[in-house]
Every structure is written in structure tokens, then in C-alpha cells.
A and B are shown apart, each in its own frame.
Chain A
Amino acid sequence: GAVVSQHPSRVICKSGTSVKIECRSLDFQATTMFWYRQFPKQSLMLMATSNEGSKATYEQGVEKDKFLINHASLTLSTLTVTSAHPEDSSFYICSAGPPRLAGSDTQYFGPGTRLTVL
């Protein structure tokens, strides 16, 4: 399957600081990438859709000024958690899919980033 990487895998920061997470598609170009978060023992919740060359679209209840998304190239999307607080501590995961095939919508996920805000 396609390969998606994330960096860093783990980050610990102080409250009030900003943290940037990178998501890369390694063997295909992705005009669209997706950012999810997962709280302990819960499901993955879609946060936003990252669109190459245009603004991200956010799911209801997700603060766009809090979670800044930049999709500057066809292989890289970044999520910046601004002024992080302890309640932002979570597991953040990105996904991307190869160019769309008719009748298919398989997404591949990065390994995730564990954010801990002290």
C-alpha cells in the first residue's frame, strides 16, 4: 500500500507554545490530505481536510485558528497546534490517498503523533 509518514512521532511541550506536525506522502502525490485526532479509547475523529494550494476545510467544532493547516505541496501537509493547552493533548494522525480511482476511496494513514501539553 501507499506510504504516509508523520513527524515528529512524539512531542511534549509547555502550555502556550505552538507545535507543528508534518505529514508526507512518500510515493504518491496527494492533492488532499486529512487530519484526525484520537483520544484514549475513542475512535478517530476527522478534524479537517487539507487542500493543496487552497484553504483547509474544517469539521464542525474544530477551531481553524487553533489548528492551522498548510498544504504547500503535493506531498506535504502541516498541522500547527497554536497556543497549545493540556486539553489539546491527543494522538494526531494524517491520511492521504493515491489519485482517485473510480469506485475506490482507500486512505492510508501516517504513524501518528502523540502530543502532550504540560
Chain B
Amino acid sequence: DQQVKQNSPSLSVQEGRISILNCDYTNSMFDYFLWYKKYPAEGPTFLISISSIKDKNEDGRFTVFLNKSAKHLSLHIVPSQPGDSAVYFCAASAGAGGTSYGKLTFGQGTILTVHP
């Protein structure tokens, strides 16, 4: 039962353009969502997060949008840079307000390639 899904295994974008990575979830108990960037043989690096009480959070070039009714979130990177090329994981937690603090459920990941 895949509770967090990233349906696009890969995404290719030109440098300077916008990258949009999508994520869907099924568990209504999730109340906190995160995006991580990961390189092979390294641990995930935290990028940005959003609480379920918000619909948007912005940090520099990264913006996360949350649509609770659709159980959908997206990560926008603009402008995209070649150094952004990596695997991006969406993760969800039911612990921000509950007892499952810290337990993250991950999507399958999307490989982003930004071409110069």
C-alpha cells in the first residue's frame, strides 16, 4: 500500500526554467509534508516542508504547494540550475500533531535532470 506516490520517475528541464515535481498521498492522517534531495550513496538533504494548516511555503528558489482536498503537493524550483539535478523525494508525517513524530513515509522519488 503506497501511501505516498510520486508518479513521475523522471523529469528533464532546461536551465533557467521551472521544475515542478508532484506528489500524491492517500492517508488523511498526514499533517506534515517534506521534500528531500538525494544523491546516490548519500543521505537525503532536507529542502523544504509544509504543515497541513498552510497551502504554500516558500524558501528562496523552492516553493511547496499543498492541496489538501486533492491530497496533492508539488515542489516548484525556479529558476532551475544544473546543480539541482538529483533524486527528489516527497515524504509525509502524521506526527506533527500526533504520536507518530518523526516517522516519515517516502514516495518513490523523481529523478530531476537540469540541462545547461
Contact = CB atoms under 8 A, between A and B. Distances in A.
Interface of A: 1, 4, 6, 32, 34, 42-46, 49, 91, 93, 95-97, 100, 102-112, 114
B51 interface: yes
B49 A91 contact: no
A113 B34 CA distance: 22
A45 B104 CA distance: 9
A32 B102 contact: yes
30 contacts: A6-B43, A32-B101, A32-B102, A34-B102, A34-B103, A43-B106, A43-B108, A43-B109, A46-B105, A49-B102, A93-B43, A96-B102, A97-B101, A102-B97, A103-B51, A103-B53, A104-B51, A105-B96, A105-B102, A106-B34, A107-B34, A107-B46, A107-B93, A107-B102, A107-B104, A108-B46, A109-B36, A111-B42, A111-B43, A112-B41
Interface string B79-97: 0000000000100010111
Contacts, number: 73
Q: Which of B43, B95, B103 has the most CB of A within 10 A?
A: B43
Interface in B60-99: 89, 93, 95-97
A108 B38 CA distance: 12
A1 B43 CA distance: 14
* Size class of the B contact interface (CB-based, 8 Å): 20 to 34
A109 B44 contact: yes
Q: Which of B42, B44, B102, B104 has the most CB of A within 10 A?
A: B102
B51 A114 contact: no
A2 B46 CA distance: 10
B101 A44 contact: no
A111 B39 CA distance: 10
Interface string B21-45: 0000000000010101000011111
